[in-house]
Structure 1
Amino acid sequence: MNIIDWIVLFGTLLSIVIYGVYKTRGSQNIESYLLGDKSMKWWTIGLSVMATQASAITFLSTPGQAFEDGMRFIQFYFSLPLAMVVLSVTVIPLYYRLKVYTAYEYLETRFDLKTRTLAALLFLIQRGLAAGITIYAPAIILSSILGWPLTLTNLIIGLLVIIYTVSGGTRAVSQTQKQQMAVMMGGMVVALLVLIWKLPEGIGFSEAVEVAGNMGKLHLVDLSLDFEDRYTLWSGMLGSFFLFLSYFGTDQSQVQRYISGKSITESRLGLLMNGLVKIPMQFLILFIGAMVFVFFQFYQPPVFFNEAVKEKIVHTVEGEQLAELEEEFTAVFLEKRETLAQALRQEGALARELYTKAELLQEKEDAIRMEVKEVIVAADPLAEPKDTDYVFITFIMNYLPHGLIGLLLAVIFSAAMSSTAGELNALASTTTVDIYKRSIKKEASEVHYLQSSKLFTVLWGLLAIAFATYATLLDNLIEAVNILGSLFYGSILGIFLVAFYIKRVKSNAVFYAALLAEAFVVICYFTTDLAFLWLNPLGCGVVIILGLLFQELENRKKVKR
């Protein structure tokens, strides 16, 4: 990086923070701070909903996901439009009619205080941990690439977010997220254009797509019924459907975005915009990952993308073995590159034969990479062997021109800030409204609750920074966030579905059903190979079934009396 990159990076980030503070200065009451005076237009809601979900993990990890596994991760989003329609018809009118600050207020009206508190606590645990991952994900990678201490990177992201979130509350989050989405999507489009431009002479867009397709990176749909496979059409249409219903319908970080709309219509349009735009957005990001894969078919990639970790191993006992594997990797790469170049010049059966050979060489490359990871772990058991999250950032740092490096880093920081801001805002709202105001200090002035909300925002922000600083990298980062959500969302959604549609189930039945369902989901995750998306319908179904069973037992006891 040079001075131009630093100017672009910090100029972009500081402009967003200053804009957010300026546009939303002067929130003087709790409704203004938590709901933005219910003044948001549908496009602001839609962009804010998308930006809250699209964390830095999306822009760092998703291209790496496509690089390694192809584009079938897109199936995860296939049920999103349907979920948005269901929520627009059922949930939004209910929240507006009850005039709630949080989703969990409704549960006390329908059940009782303990059920409301349980749902709120499940959300706080899940989202509090997720906020730490949201900061940690870009911080661990950026600190490695830029040579910054991890603590410093966490602090920069966390403190910038805290400044404008504390200053303006929900309106600050929504206003800044519009700017952040523009930076994020603009930066990704520029990255794709530069990527295609940087391909070797004679290899244009159509040739790149041909290579990606023949190397298995453009397969979008998997019809298999393997319940241990994380990404199939069925897990995407069913498992993700329940995840999206819970995330957008019961997770306060999203509910707070759309209940701040000017009207039911504005909120509905905002959610529907998210449902329509999110899939093309994810397709673009995954496609960039597939194109990065093509790029590294013609420009030699590192045998291990986390160079900082690899450099530590070079001077150890295992360094000689690592060097031998790198030589072997280079030989295989050169043969594969020549094979692909020949395939592009041929047609028909001969081309297919050459692509088959290239795929076999790719498998050999992958096997060498696995050996390298084993060597790295043998040299340093604490080293993280998963390196796909470093694929895209490696391309950015090594192949983009100066200025664009700063822009793409601004994309990553902006994504981290936008998602974290939405999470901190929701955590503070839920803590204030559902815990503090309802059960701890029931009678106080509006000014007191406003100041409490700001204090809770700071506290959750500091907790997120602390968690991010001491966290350990979890497999693929985008999967880590979705796994964490899947551990809790099913149970929370089950509570809400019972509340909405099964009126005969009362508070005690659903409360104990939710506790047992949550324990069952956690046990299933740690003791079985069930793909994490299936935990969402599983948790939801257990809450509903046990809720009906417990209520029936309670009714029978009453009859006997």
Structure 2
Amino acid sequence: MNYLDWLVLVATLAFIVLYGTLRTRGAKTMEGYLKGDSSMKWWMIGISIMATQASAITFLSTPGQAITDGMRFLQFYFGLPIAMVIIAVTMVPIYYRLKVYTAYEYLETRFDIKTRILAVILFLMLRGLSAGITLFAPSLVLSTILGWPLTLTTVMIGVMVIIYVVSGGSRAVSLTQRYQMAVIMGGMILAGVLAFSLLPDNVSFSDSVAIAGQLGKFNLVSYEFDLETRYNIWSGLIAGTFLSLSYFGTDQSQVARYLGGTSEKESKLGLIFNGLLKIPMQFIILFIGVMVYVFYLFNQAPVFHNQVLSSRAMATDQAAVLNELGDEYNGVYSEKRKAVDRLLSAVKQDDAGQIEKAKLDVQQWEAKERSVRDSVKTTIKKAIPNAKENDTDYIFLNFVLSNLPHGIIGLLLAVMFSAAMSSMAGELNALASTSCVDIYKRGINKDASPEHYVKASQWMTLGWAIIAMVFAMLARFSENLIQYVNIVGSLFYGTLLGIFLTAFYIKYVRGTAVFWAAIISESVVLYCYKFTDIAFLQYNLIGCCVVIVLALFIQSIINRSNQKNTAGL
């Protein structure tokens, strides 16, 4: 990075922080601080929902996911439009009718206080962990680029978010997210255009798409039904629908976004808007990853994408082994490039036989590349025992830093930081509102002034930000980050959704039954995660179904017991 990159990065982030602070400071009531005075139009709601969901992990990790695994991750979102319609038709009218600040207030009205508190605890655990992961991704980026301690970069980013979220609350989150999404999508599309422009002159856009397709990167839909497969059309449509219902219908970080609408109609339109645009947005991001994959077919990629960690390993006694593996990797790439050129020629000639032969050659050399990479990772792990050897999250970042012009580098780093700030802001606002409304105001201090509750929400925002920063500094993630954050969500969302669906649709069930059903359900989900190979998306379906079935069963036992007691009297 040079001075131009720093200028673009600092100016972008400073504008967002100052704009959010100056435009929204001075909220005096809970309505203003937690719901933004219900002033959002439908298009603002839709953008705010997308911005809260799209963290830095989305833009840092998703292109790397496409490079290593193709575009099948898109199936993860196939259930989203279905969920948006269900939420708009069934959940939003209830929330508006009850005039709630949080989704969990409804549960006490429908069930009892212990069920409300259980749901609040599950949410706070889920969103507290997720906020830490959201902060971890950009902190790691800046730490890697500058060689600064992760602690310092974590605090820097956390403080920027704290400044405007503590000051302006929900309205600050929503207003800044408009500009953050503009920076995010503009920067990512520009990165995709530049990735294509860096290909050799004899490679057209159609050639790049054809080559990527032949090498399996456009694996958009898989009809295989397998509970252990993370991404297929069935997991996307069924488990993905349940996950989306959980996230957008019961997670306060999303519920708060559409409860701030000017009317019920505006909130419904905002949800539908999000449902229609989310899949195309993810397609674009994954497609950008595919273009970077094609770029690395014609330009040699580093054997290990975390360049800072690689340099540290080269300073150890494993340097000779790493140099030997590097030489082997260079030789493998040289042969792979010849096979890629043969594939390009076959594609241009539309020769099916030669395409198949060249494709197999490329895939064989890619397998050898992966073998060398695995050896490098093992060696780096041996050289630096606590190192994170999975470098998938660094692929896109390394491409940006190594190949794009100055100024654009600063813009794309601003994209990642804007996404992190946007998502973290929504999460902190939700954590604070839930803590204040569902715990502090409900059970600790019921009769304070509006100004007191605003101050309490501000302190709780600060407290959750500190917790997120501490978690980010202590965390170590072996998974690809975009998968890790979804795994964390899937551990809790199924149980939460089961509680809410029972509340909405099964009037027969009362509080005690659903309370114990939820506790058992969460235990089942955690067991599946720890002791089985079931794909994490299925946890949402499992958790939800266990809650509903057990709640019905327990309620029937309670009713029979009550009938016997009544008959005995």
Q: TM-score range by the shorter chain?
A: over 0.9
The one-character-per-residue Cα deviations of 1:241-289 (angstroms, maximum 9, x if unpaired) are 1000000000000000001100111101111111010101000100111
- Asked whether 1:110 is paired with 2:136, we answer no
- Asked whether 1:519 is paired with 2:523, we answer yes
Tell me the residue number matched to 2:370: 366
Tell me the residue number matched to 2:97: 97
Tell me the residue number matched to 2:268: 268
Q: CA deviation at 1:352?
A: 2.1
Q: CA deviation at 1:521?
A: 0.6
Tell me the residue number matched to 2:78: 78
CA distance in 2, matches of 1:35, 1:290: 39
Tell me the residue number matched to 1:431: 435
CA distance in 2, matches of 1:320, 1:88: 61
Tell me the residue number matched to 1:16: 16
The one-character-per-residue Cα deviations of 1:77-107 (angstroms, maximum 9, x if unpaired) are 0111111001000011110000000000000
- Asked whether 1:450 is paired with 2:454, we answer yes
CA distance in 2, matches of 1:336, 1:129: 42
AA aligned opposite 1:377: K
CA distance in 1, matches of 2:246, 2:466: 27
AA aligned opposite 2:366: Q
- Asked whether 1:410 is paired with 2:414, we answer yes
CA distance in 1, matches of 2:37, 2:394: 41
1:15-94 equivalence runs, <5 A: 15-94=15-94
AA aligned opposite 1:296: Y
The one-character-per-residue Cα deviations of 1:492-521 (angstroms, maximum 9, x if unpaired) are 000000100111111000001101111111
CA distance in 2, matches of 1:473, 1:557: 48
Tell me the residue number matched to 2:177: 177
CA distance in 2, matches of 1:407, 1:317: 38
Tell me the residue number matched to 2:154: 154
Tell me the residue number matched to 1:529: 533
Q: CA deviation at 1:457?
A: 0.5
- Asked whether 1:560 is paired with 2:567, we answer no
Tell me the residue number matched to 1:489: 493
CA distance in 1, matches of 2:558, 2:529: 30
User: How many residue pairs end up in the alignment?
Assistant: 561
**DSSP 3-state at the match of 1:200:** coil
Q: CA deviation at 1:148?
A: 2.3
**DSSP 3-state at the match of 2:308:** helix
Q: TM-score, normalised by structure 2?
A: 0.97
CA distance in 2, matches of 1:144, 1:230: 30
Q: CA deviation at 1:201?
A: 1.9
For 2:509, which of 502, 505, 510 is the aligned residue?
505
Q: CA deviation at 1:169?
A: 0.6
Q: CA deviation at 1:3?
A: 0.7
The one-character-per-residue Cα deviations of 1:311-355 (angstroms, maximum 9, x if unpaired) are 222233322222111111111111111211122122311122112
CA distance in 1, matches of 2:48, 2:273: 11
Q: CA deviation at 1:379?
A: 2.4
CA distance in 2, matches of 1:273, 1:142: 33
The one-character-per-residue Cα deviations of 1:270-311 (angstroms, maximum 9, x if unpaired) are 111110101010001001111111111111111111112222
Q: CA deviation at 1:157?
A: 1.2
The one-character-per-residue Cα deviations of 1:47-85 (angstroms, maximum 9, x if unpaired) are 000000000000000000001100000000011111100
CA distance in 1, matches of 2:235, 2:522: 20
AA aligned opposite 1:251: D
Q: CA deviation at 1:378?
A: 2.3
Tell me the residue number matched to 1:478: 482
CA distance in 2, matches of 1:10, 1:149: 19
The one-character-per-residue Cα deviations of 1:417-460 (angstroms, maximum 9, x if unpaired) are 00000000000000000000001111211111110001101111
The farther-off stretch of 537-546 and 333-342 is 333-342
CA distance in 2, matches of 1:111, 1:264: 24
The one-character-per-residue Cα deviations of 1:193-248 (angstroms, maximum 9, x if unpaired) are 11111112211211111221111111101111121111111111111110000000
CA distance in 2, matches of 1:39, 1:468: 33
CA distance in 1, matches of 2:391, 2:400: 15
The farther-off stretch of 169-178 and 201-210 is 201-210
AA aligned opposite 2:499: I
Q: Identity of aligned pairs, percent?
A: 57
CA distance in 2, matches of 1:478, 1:99: 34
1:58-457 equivalence runs, <5 A: 58-346=58-346, 347=349, 348=351, 349-457=353-461
CA distance in 1, matches of 2:325, 2:226: 34
AA aligned opposite 1:268: K
**DSSP 3-state at the match of 1:472:** coil
CA distance in 2, matches of 1:351, 1:510: 58
**DSSP 3-state at the match of 2:294:** helix
**DSSP 3-state at the match of 2:86:** helix
CA distance in 1, matches of 2:207, 2:147: 36
Q: CA deviation at 1:399?
A: 0.5
AA aligned opposite 1:447: E
What 5-or-longer segments of structure 1 have no aligned partner?
none
Spell out structure 1 runs of 4+ moving beyond 6 A.
none
